[in-house]
Amino acid sequence: MATIVDVASLAGVSTSTVSHVLNDTRHVEPETRERVMSAVRTTGYRRDVLARSMRRARTDSIGLVVSDAGEPAFADMVHGVEEAAAQNGLSLLLANSAEDTARERAAVEALLDRRVDGLIIARAAGSSDGLLARIREDKKPLVLLDRLADLDVDQVGVNNQSAMAALVEHLATRGHQRILLISGDLRVSSLRERYDGFHAAMLDRGLEVPASLLCEGTVTAASTFDRVRTLLTTSKDRPTAILACSTLLAAGALGAIQHEGLQVPGTMAFATFDGFTYSDLFEPQITTVRQPAFRLGESAVGMLLRRIENPNVPTEILRLESEIEFRRSTE
C-alpha cells in the first residue's frame, strides 16, 4: 500500500506538496501538480482515511440508531438516511437498539467512539434524557428522528395529532361512536402523540372513551392479538371501529378480528398508522396514515449537516405531514 511518502519521493516533492495537491488547499505550480498526480496514478496511492480523520476533526461519517429495524417505516427511514448520506459523501454507520435502552446506550457509545460527525436517533421506548445529555457532553451534533422530545434539540417527525384528528373525524362522520384505540407503548413519543390526539379529537366531538375501548402498552403482535380478542369477546358494548397506531399493532388486531370472524368493513371498521406495503393490492383495503418515512430520513440528514456546518444555528423542529390513504375498511 503506497503512502504519501512514496508519492512524494517519486514526484520529487515534499509530502506537504502532495497533501496540498490532493486537498487543493494551497496553490501548486501546474507542472508540479501534474508530477504529483502522475505519481499518484503510478503508485495507485489512496489516501488513508483513518490517518486523515485523526488530524482533521472530521470523519465524514454519521451514525444512525433506530429503535426497530424490523418495522417497514423504519426500514424506509434508514433507506432515506442512507441515500442522503451517500449524496453528501458521508458514510453511514447503522445500529439498531431493538427498543432496548441498554443496547441503545451501547450503540451510541460505539458511534461516539468512532468519532462520527453527527448522530441521528430514533429513540428506544423508555430511553432516558441522560443519553442525550451524554451526546451533548461530547458536543456532537444530533437530530432526533420520528420519536421527538420536548427538548432543545433538532428534530424531525410527523404531525401525529392532526393525522389522528382527521382519522377520527372520518370515522365519526360515518357514525362511529365506539372506537377502540390500540395505542402501544405510550413511552414512545409518536405513540403518545397519537394517543393524546385521539382523546382530544374524541372530546371535541363529545364522544366518550371508556377504558374498555383502550388497548395500551402491548408491544408485540401476539400480545396485541390476545388483548384485542379479549376486548372483543368480553365487552358488551363492542366497538364499531378499531384504530391501530402502528404496523405491529395493526397486525395483532387484524388477526384478532379475523379470529373472531368479524368482517372488515362489514361488521368492523378498521384503520391504522404506518400500515403495510402494497396494501392497495390486498383485501381488506385498509385506510392508512402513511408517514413520508423516506423523506423523514432525508430531512434528518439535511438538518444534521446544517448543524455540523454551523453548531450555533437555532434549533429546528420539523413536522412533515402524513398522508391518509382512505380505503374501503372505513367505508
Residues found near DNA in the complex (CB under 7 A)? 1, 3-5, 12-20, 22-23, 25-29, 31-32, 45-48, 51-52, 54-56
Residue 42 in contact with residue 104, Cβ under 8 Å? no
Q: What nine digits make up the cell of 141?
A: 451534533
Q: At its nearest, how many Å lie between DNA and the CB of residue 8?
A: 8
For residue 326, the partner it binds in DNA, its own copies, none, with Cβ less than 5 to 8 A by kind, is none
Q: What nine digits make up the cell of 242?
A: 378499531
Strands 154-158 and 317-320: parallel
Q: What nine digits make up the cell of 155?
A: 428534530
Residue 84 in contact with residue 113, Cβ under 8 Å? no
For residue 113, the partner it binds in its own copies, DNA, none, with Cβ less than 5 to 8 A by kind, is its own copies
Q: At its nearest, how many Å lie between its own copies and the CB of residue 89?
A: 8
Given the complex with DNA, which of 52 and 238 has the nearer CB atom?
52
For residue 12, the partner it binds in DNA, its own copies, none, with Cβ less than 5 to 8 A by kind, is DNA
Given the complex with DNA, which of 55 and 139 has the nearer CB atom?
55
According to DSSP, the residues that pair with 242 across neighbouring strands are: 180, 270
Taking the C-alpha atoms of residue 155 and residue 319, their distance in angstroms, rounded to an integer, is 8
For residue 16, the partner it binds in DNA, its own copies, none, with Cβ less than 5 to 8 A by kind, is DNA
Taking the C-alpha atoms of residue 219 and residue 183, their distance in angstroms, rounded to an integer, is 10
Given the complex with DNA, which of 8 and 153 has the nearer CB atom?
8
Q: At its nearest, how many Å lie between DNA and the CB of residue 300?
A: 27
Given the complex with its own copies, which of 168 and 253 has the nearer CB atom?
253
For residue 282, the partner it binds in its own copies, DNA, none, with Cβ less than 5 to 8 A by kind, is its own copies
Taking the C-alpha atoms of residue 109 and residue 103, their distance in angstroms, rounded to an integer, is 10
Given the complex with DNA, which of 115 and 229 has the nearer CB atom?
115
Given the complex with DNA, which of 3 and 159 has the nearer CB atom?
3
Given the complex with its own copies, which of 13 and 111 has the nearer CB atom?
111
Residue 238 in contact with residue 180, Cβ under 8 Å? no
Residue 125 in contact with residue 185, Cβ under 8 Å? yes
Helix or strand or coil: residue 71?
coil
Taking the C-alpha atoms of residue 101 and residue 127, their distance in angstroms, rounded to an integer, is 6
For residue 69, the partner it binds in its own copies, DNA, none, with Cβ less than 5 to 8 A by kind, is its own copies
For residue 317, the partner it binds in DNA, its own copies, none, with Cβ less than 5 to 8 A by kind, is none
Query: In sequence order, what are the residues at sequence separation of 6 or more whose Cβ sits closer than 8 angstroms to the Cβ of residue 218?
Result: 182, 184, 224, 227, 249, 252
Taking the C-alpha atoms of residue 31 and residue 12, their distance in angstroms, rounded to an integer, is 12
Report the interface residues with its own copies, using CB under 8 A: 46-51, 53-54, 59, 61, 69-70, 72, 75-76, 78-79, 82-83, 86, 91-96, 98, 103, 106-107, 110-115, 247, 251, 254-255, 258, 276-279, 281-284
